[in-house]
Structure 1
Amino acid sequence: MGRRTAVVLGGSVAGLCAAGVLARHFDEVIVLERDLLPPDARHRRGVPQSKHPHFLLNSGRRAIGAILPGFEEALIAAGGMHLMPSMDAAYCENDGWAPRKSGSMTMVYSSRVLIERVLRDKVRELPAIEIREGATVTGLRSTGGGTARGRVEGVEYRTADGGDAHLAADLVVDALGRGSSVTDWLSAAGWTAPPERTLDAKVTYTSRWYDLPPADRRPETWWWKHLVVTPTQDTGDHPAEHEFLSNFFPIEGDRAIVCMGSWGIEMPRRPEAFEAAVDRVRATLFGRATHACTPTSEVHLTRSTGNKWRRFDLLDVPPAGLVCVGDSICAFNPFYAQGMSSAARSALILGEMLRARDDLGLAFVREFLARQKESLDVPWMLAMARDQAYDFATGTEVAPPWRRRLAARLGWPVFNAINAASREDAYVERTFAEVFNLDRSLKEMARDPRFWFGIARYKLRQRLGRTVVPGGFDARQDPPGTDFTGFTGAASSGAARRGDDLVGA
């Protein structure tokens, strides 16, 4: 077999993960990236989302670690923090602060720019990979568009100095993100445009970066690293900020990203409005913690949050020689932290396919699309479960009125019941963590009798006053730092609400 070349369009997380896989199976892998890449962890034009918090789910961590061994260790060495959210984060839920206790889930916290910098460093260790910076992809080269023999054979691009160039390729990977023009180029070449599944729940969120105060100047009650305040479920009059999902998100370098987001509400975009809004979030600690820090950025706002799935798997004749990964194939509402992990999972599937077969024809692409669809179904169902509940949502996946009413009526009560039962039932906690981390599907959880038995048993114990771990600590106070792991005492509802008697400051 002759020398084989793969070309990756885009050098963000999806493109770098794909390149890491391709390097094991191609003689040369060329990544075309429009931006000039910074040597360190800095923002760049092509990744505006980097100014907001990013979660790398457990399934994504494992996938990237399999593609680029040593990634997680390098991320931590560069300043990322390996934390257990149930112990290191304070969650303000419907009835107040949740109890702090050990759980099955861990996370590595860092900024998106640090994740990308570490990924670039790992990718550059692979001799087969070349990253061409300042390269703007302008089109595809193909033959037989729209026929069973149709194939993408290369790409056209503009170089950093403005010259026109092209590359022949045995495989092209589209990782150009939400704004990818690949479908337009394919349509112009004769292929049918893929059907698109869309749902936009009008999510807007706004973020600002801060330096934390020195460790010796932080209050003793700051045992937490991460703060999360969920939207109120109160249907009465309250400030708009009570509807926000708010995050005080820790990143490397003793910094935090303060982020507030909502469904269908106008968000602050000026520093003065942002600083005033944090004080109206329903947990008073959120504003106090923010004001104790020093702002280091402007306010960054985004509305580009709609879910969009380009269904190449539904085409009778998809283009051979081309696969799409990341937001180019399926973009999610970023609130659900699924993008990077889903992209890494797609890259793993591509690697498994390349190990199993050398032929890169139409049958290869069809099998890849079928397996990728099965993987993307898992996060897509999660995103739809929440975003379909809103009457103002638009797109092809808008639910009928009865389903919207049902989702709106049951969504929060079910979520509250799962969270509460997770405090005392390890199986419920572990199962929900697996679904959140894309290791199990929502459908699997919904069909799991042991999971629902655990919730029903907890609700019965709650009705009988026999629950063990207290919850609902006053949101107007600091969250208690007591570790309730293994707690066996009888929970007093009054003490739980006050945060006294059972716990110390």
Structure 2
Amino acid sequence: MTQVPVVREPGATHAVVIGASMAGMLAARVLAGHVDRVTVIERDRLPEGAEQRKGVPQGRQIHVLLARGSAVLDRLFPGFSRDLVAAGAVPFRLPGDALILSKAGWVDRRTPGWTMTSASRPLIEETLRRRLLQLPGIAVLDGSEVTELRASDDGRAVRGVSVRRADGGDDSRSIDADLVVDASGRGSRTPHWLADLGYPEPERTQVDSHIAYATRLYRIPDGFAADWRAAMLMPRPPGNPRTGDLMPIEGGRWIVTLMGAARQHPPTDEAGFTAFMRELSDPIIADTVAHAEPVSDIRGHRGTANRLAHYERMPRWPERLVVLGDAVCAFNPVYGQGMTTAAIAAETLDDCLWAQRRRRPAGDLEGMARRFQRLLARRNRDAWMLSTGEDLRYPTTTGTTAGRILRAQHRYFDRVERAAVTDPAVTEVYARVFGMLERPTALFRPRIVAAAIRAGRAPTRPAAPTVGVPAPRTSTEQQQEVRT
């Protein structure tokens, strides 16, 4: 992708987004409805197609766009899910088309749940980037990095950024902006930039279950037939901290990701990867890929701690600067919340900008940035509590410990999982909470509480499903094979 010149028309409003991440592209889409021009500045040279890039080190691992995230993308880019499927993504129902083995047993599949569109991270990004660049007023400056925030003389407001070529070229320049959005991910330099402007650095919280993951792609065998399309084997903490997922993606492939918490990391060598897969809570994934052709190397990834920067608590905050995505709140990837929380952050920015229009004259952004950070913190809270709460089931997790209330919640959620094994009404709510369509408080409705009480303490583990097999060939197919 080539660089697009940044042109500031007299009197035109301009926003700068740091990072062409999912969060950055979604923020740019929202900003396009509020300013005349949006410039996305990205350190990587962006590929023309669905290719891996250095700035997304976890891009080869499994990615999940939950139901709420899909809904937001389809609202911002009408027909986005349809475009993704046209590009090769695979839709399936969760849990209706998926085998999900929780701590209690196989989750009831009689409720169809919601549709997941399964694809690789590069395909999701490429589809989103293509739709974004079709909008007027969007410019991309790739192969470039932001080196500092430029502020007003009194330091109260951010007025732009300084940019240079990422390859180390000596061509630094300034770009003015009415609003700057940092969506640069876990490596965000905003805390340091704020310190340079005389602001304190934010408080930080980190909860680390010491998880790592490894992924491999397989070609789906010709004629493979089963009554399911995906398999998800959940960990059983604290004894078995291992997770395994198998999902179909574009190109007639399966993506298989193994995850291990509590420092029980999946190996990236052939024998170790296979042995780890065999030690999951059920052999269904190992048996399914046993005769499938691997079509990639085994790729590992670490650096998966839950990290939260408390910008909402800052005693002072500069006007016209907002921070979102992984730059604020980054999750352990096991629960698949990252892209969906990025979509929620974009939705939150849109809400705040519309509210500012009603509150202030056009172009007056006073107070908006601080209100955004506080509202974003509230909207991230549920996902943060779910992710860190589950991680704290492991005694080796660092950062904090599970208190009495959290341990009581663990016991209750275990009962809800047992009820979800046999009760489709519970499964429906359970699936909607997992898909972030409902808040976790939905699991405390009287109907769910009663089912959880009935579920009792004894885990229920129905018989394991059968592995899919190639469908029998018809005589016509056999004759065609002989002719060819």
Shorter-chain-normalised TM-score: which range?
0.7 to 0.9
Q: Structure 1 pair 430/280, CA: closer, same or farther in 2 (3 Å)?
A: closer
Aligned mates of 1:316, 1:129 — CA distance in 2: 34
Aligned mates of 2:107, 2:442 — CA distance in 1: 23
Q: Which amino acid aligns with 2:190?
A: V
Q: Provide the secondary structure at the position in 1 that maps to 2:206.
A: strand
Matched, 1:337 2:342: no
Contact preservation (8 Å) 2:259, 2:265 = no
Aligned mates of 1:8, 1:233 — CA distance in 2: 40
- Per the TM alignment, residue 98 of structure 1 is displaced from its structure 2 partner at its CA by 4.4
2:447 alignment partner in structure 1: 450
Provide the identity percentage.
Answer: 32
Matched, 1:68 2:77: yes
Matched, 1:10 2:19: yes
Q: Structure 1 pair 412/388, CA: closer, same or farther in 2 (3 Å)?
A: same
Aligned mates of 2:193, 2:414 — CA distance in 1: 46
Q: Structure 1 pair 368/211, CA: closer, same or farther in 2 (3 Å)?
A: same
2:395 alignment partner in structure 1: 391
For residues 150-189 of structure 1, what are the structure 2 equivalents within 5 Å? 150-159=156-165, 162=169, 163-189=171-197
Q: Which amino acid aligns with 2:227?
A: W
For residues 39-438 of structure 1, what are the structure 2 equivalents within 5 Å? 39-94=48-103, 97-143=106-152, 150-159=156-165, 162=169, 163-214=171-222, 216=223, 218=224, 220=225, 222-232=226-236, 243-264=241-262, 265-356=264-355, 357=357, 358-395=362-399, 398-399=400-401, 402=404, 410=411, 413-420=414-421, 423-426=422-425, 428-438=426-436
- Per the TM alignment, residue 85 of structure 1 is displaced from its structure 2 partner at its CA by 2.2
Q: Structure 1 pair 338/232, CA: closer, same or farther in 2 (3 Å)?
A: closer
Q: Which amino acid aligns with 2:46?
A: L
Structure 1: state its 5+ residue gaps: 236-241, 464-469, 481-505
Q: Provide the secondary structure at the position in 2 that maps to 1:108.
A: strand
Query: How far does the alpha carbon of each residue in 1:149-197 deviate from its partner, in whole angstroms, 9 at most, with x for none?
Result: 6111111111367221221110001010001111111111101111112
Contact preservation (8 Å) 2:30, 2:350 = yes
- Per the TM alignment, residue 374 of structure 1 is displaced from its structure 2 partner at its CA by 1.6
Structure 2: state its 5+ residue gaps: 1-9, 470-484
Q: Which amino acid aligns with 1:46?
A: G
- Per the TM alignment, residue 139 of structure 1 is displaced from its structure 2 partner at its CA by 1.5
Q: Which amino acid aligns with 1:416?
A: E
2:4 alignment partner in structure 1: none
Aligned mates of 1:82, 1:123 — CA distance in 2: 22
Query: How far does the alpha carbon of each residue in 1:348-368 deviate from its partner, in whole angstroms, 9 at most, with x for none?
Result: 111122223245544111221
- Per the TM alignment, residue 447 of structure 1 is displaced from its structure 2 partner at its CA by 4.2
RMSD: 2.6
Contact preservation (8 Å) 2:29, 2:132 = yes
Contact preservation (8 Å) 1:171, 1:322 = yes
Q: Provide the secondary structure at the position in 2 that maps to 1:85.
A: strand
Q: Structure 1 pair 364/282, CA: closer, same or farther in 2 (3 Å)?
A: closer
Q: Structure 1 pair 478/412, CA: closer, same or farther in 2 (3 Å)?
A: farther
- Per the TM alignment, residue 401 of structure 1 is displaced from its structure 2 partner at its CA by 6.0
Task: State the TM-score, normalized to the length of structure 1.
Answer: 0.83
Contact preservation (8 Å) 1:32, 1:137 = yes
1:474 alignment partner in structure 2: 464
Q: Provide the secondary structure at the position in 2 that maps to 1:21.
A: helix
- Per the TM alignment, residue 319 of structure 1 is displaced from its structure 2 partner at its CA by 1.6
Q: Structure 1 pair 440/93, CA: closer, same or farther in 2 (3 Å)?
A: closer
Query: How far does the alpha carbon of each residue in 1:385-415 deviate from its partner, in whole angstroms, 9 at most, with x for none?
Result: 21122222122xx12565676566x277335
Contact preservation (8 Å) 1:212, 1:255 = yes
- Per the TM alignment, residue 101 of structure 1 is displaced from its structure 2 partner at its CA by 2.2
Aligned mates of 1:96, 1:401 — CA distance in 2: 27
Q: Which amino acid aligns with 1:385?
A: G
- Per the TM alignment, residue 287 of structure 1 is displaced from its structure 2 partner at its CA by 1.4
Contact preservation (8 Å) 2:91, 2:115 = yes
Aligned mates of 1:28, 1:381 — CA distance in 2: 37
Task: State the TM-score, normalized to the length of structure 2.
Answer: 0.87
- Per the TM alignment, residue 112 of structure 1 is displaced from its structure 2 partner at its CA by 1.0
